[in-house]
Structure 1
Amino acid sequence: MGVESFLQYMRDLYGKVNSSVLNTNSSGFNSQQLAFMRQFQKDLKVEVASRLALRDLKTVVFDIETTGFFPEKGDQIISIGAVKVIGCEIQEERFYSLVHIKEEISEEITELTGISNDHLVDAPNLSEVMVKFFEFIKDDTLVAHHSSHEKNFMQSACWKQFKTPFKHRIVDTSFLFKIVAPNHSIVTLEEWCKYSEISIENRHHALGDAKLTAILWTQYLHKAQEMGCNTLQDIYERFAKR
């Protein structure tokens, strides 16, 4: 989906945008479009989700693959994968895209992710992928496993591509784990899957890891509900009392 489709979605969502904002040119975003995207991020009602019943909470569980761990040092996103979830039910809607970068990928990253330089030659640029990703998630709550990695790269990408902060809430799966299984010091996604008897497939593939995280999220969200947590706010408050 292109820039115009994303802006049309935002116009439908907010019911206000000057028609000239939809006038794109071959160079991509104009100043009005960038300003509108910044307003879109600013207007996100990130706190509303905290009070929604967990059974009705709309989330997008996502994962990214990158060339390293430090966007501030030039490491880049090379793929994004995501799965939609409502309450404890995984939906059929999926998102996946490779991301074109100019730099060469190291052999170590290729071995880990299966992504080579050849795979990224014809992939869309990050700005295009981000637009499609925003359209996919809309104003749903994001979920990630050890989310600091995803958050750092999404913040960097939003600022570099659109000069706007990344405003979406990202809920870290560790909040659930520390409430439901507080006595376990498990860290990695793979270890949590093994502990939870979840079959591990497509590890270190953005969509594959998003699917595994979604299964974990729904399992532990259900357990949190059984413990009396009805909203995200309940989960945060219980975590704070630990």
Structure 2
Amino acid sequence: MKDPGPAGRMWQLYKMGGLTPAITSMFDSRNAQQMAFIRSVMKEQRKNSLYDVQLDTLEAVVFDLETTGFSPYNGDEILSIGAILVKGDQVCEETFYTLVNPKRQVPDEIVALTGITNEMAGRAPDLIDGLKGFLEFVSNRVLIAHGSGHDKHFLNSALWKTSKVNLSHRLLDTMMIGMWLHPKRSHFDLDSMLNLYDVEVLHRHHALEDSIMTAHLWAKMLKDIAAKEITNLGDLYAHLSHYGT
């Protein structure tokens, strides 16, 4: 096949993801490979329905992010990504964790909360490297998070910034599940749910430790879900639809 030349390659990259990734990728072939991988994962994921998957055999990845603040659209960035694999109600040993270089100062209150210093963040992998590692771990599995709105906003912002794609994985939120299972309760934050389900609290505000605790929460919630005769992912989504899933 004839080489389209630099201009042709630029146009091909532009069609894949926009001008910024195209220019970046022309100067960094590794970033181009990372971007292509991320885009291919999102494309493949859109083909998977998963609604008929039984919850007692569901493979999912429970994850959490630590960030520099609360708004990815006002300059806040991902600081760390943690994740753990679950199979049905079994919390597995396979985990993923990485720091991410936010390319900005970490606010003092975030350093105090997470223990992630500017020095640690400055030595961390770039965002696109962290995303690629995370998506390699996730593969085509369902994602689970507690209070997923925050994490989904940051993931979508990061995916768009690096690869001009949006998250296409199915996502379950243990906070919404808690609201459905316990409608008379008034507090559904992670600490409240961990206490309700008697899950041992480890190191809070650490992406991997929070993921592990949320995974054990999900495993215990599955018993309550089964008691309501909900057996597959599609039925669970239908019952959670009133809570914005």
Deviation at 1:135, TM superposition (A): 0.3
Deviation at 1:48, TM superposition (A): 2.5
What is the aligned-residue identity percentage? 37
CA RMSD of aligned residues (A): 2.1
CA gap of 1:211–1:34, structure 2 versus 1, over 3 A, is closer
Structure 2: stretches of 5+ with no match in the other structure: 1-25
The answer for the alignment partner of 1:98 in structure 2 is: 99
- Looking at structure 1, the residues matched to 143 and 121 of structure 2 have their Cα atoms a distance apart, in angstroms, of 26
CA gap of 1:74–1:213, structure 2 versus 1, over 3 A, is same
CA gap of 1:237–1:27, structure 2 versus 1, over 3 A, is closer
Deviation at 1:149, TM superposition (A): 0.5
The answer for the alignment partner of 1:81 in structure 2 is: 82
The answer for the alignment partner of 2:215 in structure 1 is: 214
The answer for the alignment partner of 2:128 in structure 1 is: 127
TM-score, length-normalised on structure 2? 0.82
CA gap of 1:72–1:171, structure 2 versus 1, over 3 A, is same
In the alignment, residue 28 of structure 1 is paired with which amino acid? R
CA gap of 1:240–1:105, structure 2 versus 1, over 3 A, is closer
Q: Tell me whether 192-201 or 154-163 shows the greater mean CA deviation.
A: 192-201
Structure 1: stretches of 5+ with no match in the other structure: 1-23
TM superposition outliers: structure 1 runs of 4+ over 6 Å: none
- Looking at structure 1, the residues matched to 66 and 242 of structure 2 have their Cα atoms a distance apart, in angstroms, of 34
Residue 174 (str. 1) matches residue 175 (str. 2): yes
- Looking at structure 1, the residues matched to 47 and 110 of structure 2 have their Cα atoms a distance apart, in angstroms, of 34
Deviation at 1:240, TM superposition (A): 4.8
Deviation at 1:27, TM superposition (A): 4.2
TM-score, length-normalised on structure 1? 0.83
The answer for the alignment partner of 1:29 in structure 2 is: 31
The answer for the alignment partner of 2:237 in structure 1 is: 236
Describe the superposition over 1:193-221 as per-residue Cα deviations: whole angstroms up to 9, x where unpaired: 12222221110000011011111111101
Query: Would you say how many aligned residue pairs link Structure 1 and Structure 2?
Result: 218
- Looking at structure 2, the residues matched to 36 and 80 of structure 1 have their Cα atoms a distance apart, in angstroms, of 18
Deviation at 1:86, TM superposition (A): 0.6
Q: Tell me whether 55-64 or 192-201 shows the greater mean CA deviation.
A: 192-201
Deviation at 1:176, TM superposition (A): 2.1
- Looking at structure 2, the residues matched to 162 and 65 of structure 1 have their Cα atoms a distance apart, in angstroms, of 21
